Structure 1
Amino acid sequence: MRLPPRPDLSWKEDGTPVNERVGDIYYSVEDGLEETRAIFLKACGLPERWQGRDSFTVAELGFGTGLNFLALWQLWRKARGDQGWLHFVSFEGFPLDVGDAEQALSVWPELGELVRELIAKWPDRAKGVHQVVWPDERLTLTLHLGLIEETLPQAQFKADAWFLDGFSPAKNEAMWDEGLWPQIAARSSPGAVAATFTVAGAVRRGLTAAGFAVTKQPGHGRKRERLEAIFLGEADARPHGQNRIAIIGAGISGASLARVLSDRGASVTVYEQADGPAQGTSGNPIGLLMPRLDAGDTAQARFLVEAYNAARALYRGYAGVEDTEVVQRPKDEQEARRIEKVLADPPLGLEDLEALPGGGLLHKRAMMFRPARLLPALLEGIDVRWGSEAEIDPAARSVNGEVYDAIVLATGWHMETMIPALRLKGRAGQVEFSEVDVDAPPSAMASGHYALASGRERVWGATYRDHEGDVPAILEADRETNAASLAALNPYWRQSVAAAQVRSRAGVRATSPDRLPIIGAMPDVEMILKSHAGLRTGIAVPEETAIVSGLYLAGGYGSRGFTFGPWAARLISALIHDDPLPTQLAALPLVNPARQILRDLKRRLI
């Protein structure tokens, strides 16, 4: 099943939530909060251990109601100081619905404000990684949903403290399996402290074998003893966070990067050759955010859902963004079969997806946006150099003579001119739009093409054709194609645009050969051609590929720039700052900028 299962939840008379699947309570209503403070916060040496740190990462097995996270957040507010960032990485196999979480946490009035903050951003029920950021709090929650034996090996981070808070080992063996201890050790910084309520022998032996020094300590309340463990592993070379960052391009990719990196505390400068926002491919009158859903439970399918959820999370509340539903009809028999498979085993819950009579999907929580308003909102407070050509010196890590800690190229299809080995292609897309006399609520239809309505604005299209050169032409053939697609979709407003003035707009999307985005460190093409030349003849080669230090790429989004932009920004930010990854490790090869170079070597094309 692609959806993570719900817990078998019941409630005691005093309001205590019980997971009947394992026959154990989530916490004690009498002293659950004090127990968290004693067994986890105090035992891990908090807040003293995060003082003076640029960042501090706490990891947890068993998110449950989020009580441990909220208790930590409360302490962070009291004792975080003027600097530093707190990361909380947690794993949950049976996530609570938002209503149950709200009910469970309502018994702690002193956490009321923080509960409301968390509930407002409660992660959606979908397998994969969900990341929530509170910039003003300097706090990030990275939540992995799925069975622990699948999610922990797919996570990348280094924890400074561990809250081992699964249900009782006797009742929930999977969360305490001996195979997890090496995984925990591999994700621990030297000196990391692991704390837990249990003193079970198997837990003590597992932690010890993984390289922790384990001691029994006095327990709390009815628990006579508890465990503390300190990781004795060797230090590894971890990069320091980089603060001065240049972004080349101010489309949705660059704007998302600027917002996420700035929120993370970086000093961001954006270079854009246009003289204002929303003038390039990201500048259609109205845009649509809806998910691309694959039929199987693959790394690609999960990454696509993660990207959709990341985009919704970033855009929510910004100017020019409104919620809508999308009626998606299959464009052909192949898509009809795919939709049937998606509905048979959906990756999103009923709050997101519903089957349509006659075939198709209803996307209930999609978004529409006006780029001319959204992009300036994302770039608010950012140093944007409009009308500026960017001359990059990779060796000096400079732009127009100014030196930066990191440079990110978010230049769309223009990236091809700098790195031809990526084999990006420009695909022109034309939309038609008009303004009519009748106001309409946000609505969208899709079936290969789309038709959008909001207020008096109507947008429909888009075409998809090869493009070379600079500015794409407006073609009458494309206008006819879009008119035919509008007739096929047949929205209720189709007749009203027949009498209105129709205008056209064309942009160029950058697409990779495999239609997946290019996100990550810039490959050092010359070095890869030498180090991986053996691929041409089947000789073993290094697993890692050479990169250009401090340079990153974010592009190749095709027609889904507004979907991929925020997810890419989170990933690039994590790579730059050495933060917990906002995705599963299996997603990285899918978006690795060097992947096409390696494929071409194997095929002896280069």
Structure 2
Amino acid sequence: MARLLSPPQIDWRDDGTPVARAHDDVYFTAGDGLAETRAVFLQGCGLPEAWAGREVYTVAETGFGTGLNFLALWQLWERHRPSPTARLHFVSFEAFPLHAEDAARALDSWPELEELAALLISRWPGPVKGVRHMVWPEAGISLTLHLGDIREALPAARFRADAWFLDGFSPAKNEDMWGEWIYPELSLHSAPGARLGTFTVAGAVRRGLAGAGFKVSRQPGHGRKRERLEATLETPAQSPPDPRIVPGTVREWSGNGQANTRIAVIGGGIAGASAARALLDAGAEVTVFDKAPEVATGASGNKLALLMPRLDAGDTVQARLLIDAYLAARSAYETLPGVTETDVRQIPKDETDRTRFTKLLADPPLPLEDLESTQNGGLLHKRAMILRPARLIPALLDGATLRLGEKASLDMSNRTVNGEAFDAIILATAMDTTDQLPWLNLTARLGQVEWVGDAADAPPDAVTSGTYALAEGTDRLWGATFEPAPAGVIEVSETARAENAQGLEALSPWWIRDARDHTPVSRAALRATTVDRLPLVGPVPDHAATLDLFDGMKKGRPVNADAPVLPGIFIVNGFGARGFTWGPWAGGILAAMILGGPAPAPADALAAVSPVRLILRALKRGEA
């Protein structure tokens, strides 16, 4: 199966109606589509009355299409938002994402949606499988778009909908999506009392919904359709326990709603700053503590940083979540200061690399707009970024209360930092985290780079082959080493400087003479790394209680319970050398977990980065 999705071929009728050629069905009827959306989905789900008095409300949809339903809902939200702090989450699924120009052409039919449509089209995703998460903080709206086959994506998604728009071509034209499998999944992903609207009254749909616990009723249809369906969930299904992915929100821990939720983030590097940004955009009040007098003084503090994708030839969980993280980072950074878009030339290190690149390009995980081959068997990564952390990280922290130069004294049982109580606390403290949680077994890696800041002014340039070399303006930076540092000592070394010099010679960027003609400045920092090189993102497990509860795993017994956690205590750590890639993606996951919203990642990705995985692995191996 191809890793990239296939955008649909669209035929346009004379009246402007878009028709999907493969399904031989219309996305909407020109001139009437918006009215139909309002009648079938908005009215069918009792909106806006159903969200009155709610601080968080989630709507899900089974076919994103042109985005018309989302925009109609957004317009209604603008007119009837319950409060200035209320948040609306929209979750949708799409296996055949339209080209942005086709979506824009379709939405041109409704001038009243022009401004909202422009905001959506400006962030329209490419045909890359995975989860794209977009937030419009001022509007209080988020869109979590699962791109791929809904039969795989819906069971893997983590959210509870208050309302459903059951859309996605007619049952006769799209049998796979309307199969018997979907109705129990709708129930599993619904809150008690969830409302559902759909245009079809097909008997199989009515029976499927009724069998999944929905009370179904026929209602007068819209336009030429005599009837439509409305449904209300009376008997919600219960999700089985999962020790790796622990649900829970601030409301459950402290009785607070989302408004005025107070979160402490300990650590002002890219991990803490990205978590703070996601929480701020979701409406929380965030206080960031850092023992240093300035933010980004540790591993996030190099003069320049590189954001580029890490691509694998195999379509694994790790490969997919790395792509999701890269695209999330690129989206998060593109409008912020200290960011320059550039192409990156990736040179194969050896024949193994060359073979891997060839396999990767045979079934590419990114489109031609982002990735192509080079003449020497390498890769050209387009729309990558050179970052200036000293400008980028303060921008991410805009709106947060900063407590810099203040060592954080943490009491996890009472959720206090320096005696001040918070609804949740996030540990973004890299290797310092081992003081509170030694069982994480984090490994320190020492990364050293070389920098020249007074070279000739130059356009952005990036080249990589295991090591990397960056030029931007008068700055040149190259490296970096990734050596074990068991004692946790941070010091520059001649050995590392020589290694970086050798790497620069091999890369041979066109500006190499600038590096030779100036005296470089060396900088070293520790990078916290996990045993499996994946980050730690999520609630902190209660280590002793988890060992006790799952002791049977030592003898191969199955796990059938949620892992015990320390309520309101979270961690974001273990980024290794990819902090700027992981940061925004991890921050979005934490915001959803803490404040109550759809997870911007599938279940297998959440499990792969869950902190409890380290305990479960140790139990299975008899090491705990």
TM above 0.5, one fold?
Answer: yes
Secondary structure, in 3 states, of the residue corresponding to 2:205? helix
Paired letter, 2:349? K
Alignment of 1:227-238 (within 5 A): 227-234=229-236
Aligned pair partner of 2:197 in 195, 198, 217: 195
Tell me the residue number matched to 1:596.
Answer: 614
Provide the C-alpha distance between the structure 1 equivalents of 2:32 and 2:527, rounded to a whole number of angstroms: 56
Q: Which amino acid aligns with 1:133?
A: V
Superposed CA deviations along residues 544-566 of structure 1, whole A, max 9, x for unmatched, are 32211110010000000011111
In the TM superposition, what is the alpha-carbon distance from 1:542 to its structure 2 partner?
Answer: 4.0
In 1, distance between residues paired with 2:237 and 2:533?
Answer: 39
Q: Is the 8 A contact 2:481 2:499 kept in 1?
A: yes
Partner deviation per Cα, 1:292-322 (whole Å, 9 max, x = no partner)? 1122222222111111111111112111011
What is the TM-score of this pair, normalised by structure 2? 0.95
Preserved CA contact (<8 Å) 1:426 1:467: yes
Structure 1 residue 286 displacement after superposition: 0.4
Percent identity between matched residues is 54
Corresponding residue number in structure 1 for 2:212: 210
Counterpart of 1:349 in structure 2 is 367
* Paired position in structure 1 for 2:28: 27
Aligned counterparts of 1:546 and 1:53: Cα–Cα separation in 2: 29
Matching of residues 61-460 of structure 1 within 5 Å: 61-82=62-83, 83-234=85-236, 239=249, 240=251, 241=257, 243-460=261-478
Report the AA paired with residue 358 of structure 2: E
Paired AA for residue 174 in structure 2 = N
Contact in 1 for aligned 2:190/2:236 (Cα 8 Å): no
Is the Cα–Cα contact under 8 Å of residues 7 and 95 in structure 1 kept in the other structure? yes
2:241 counterpart residue number: none
Aligned to 2:577: 559
Aligned partner letter, 2:128: A
1:58 match:
59
Q: Deviation per CA, 1:118-145, whole angstroms, max 9, x where unpaired? A: 0111123211111000000000000000
Q: Deviations over 1:377-403 (max 9, x none)?
A: 111221110011111111111111111
Match of 2:243 in 1: none
Residue deviations 1:9-63, cap 9 Å, x none?
2212222211010101111112111111111111111111111001111100110
Distance 2:417 2:544 in 1: 22
Stretch of structure 1 that moved more, 469-478 or 517-526: 469-478
User: Is the alpha carbon distance of 1:198 and 1:235 closer, same or farther for their aligned partners in structure 2, counting shifts above 3 Å?
Assistant: closer
Q: Which amino acid aligns with 1:442?
A: P
Secondary structure of the residue aligned to 2:457 is strand
> Over aligned residue pairs, what C-alpha RMSD do you find?
1.4
- For the 8 Å contact 1:148–1:174, the answer to whether it is kept is no
The alpha-carbon deviation at position 360 of structure 1 amounts to: 1.5
Asked whether the equivalents of residues 54 and 82 of structure 2 are also in contact (C-alpha less than 8 Å), the reply is: no
CA distance in 2, matches of 1:468, 1:68: 54
Partner Cα distance (1:437, 1:521) in 2: 46
Which residue identity lines up with residue 108 of structure 2 in the other structure?
A: S
The answer on 1:6 being equivalent to 2:7 is yes
**TM-score w.r.t. structure 1 length?**
0.98
1:182-209 Cα offsets, whole Å, 9 max, x none, are: 0011111121111111111111111111
- Find the residue that maps to 1:438 and give its secondary structure: coil
Counterparts of 2:296 and 2:558, CA distance in 1: 47
Give the deviation of 1:251 after TM superposition: 0.2
CA distance in 1 between counterparts of 2:513 and 2:295 reads: 32
Which consecutive residues of structure 1, in runs of 5 or more, have no partner in the other structure? Answer: none
Residue 471 of structure 1: CA displacement? Answer: 4.7
Q: Which residue of 1 aligns with 2:50?
A: 49
SS of equivalent to 2:584: helix
Cα distance in 2, alignment partners of residues 534 and 81 from structure 1: 48
SS of the residue corresponding to residue 281 of structure 1 reads coil
> Matched residue of 1:176: which SS?
coil
Letter in 1 for 2:482: Y
CA–CA distance in 1 between the matches of 2:82 and 2:371? 43
Paired position in structure 2 for 1:17: 18
2:560 & 2:113 partners in 1: Cα distance? 51
Alignment partners' CA distance in 1, 2:398 and 2:409: 24
Task: State how far apart, in whole Å, the 1-side matches of 2:73 and 2:223 are.
Answer: 20
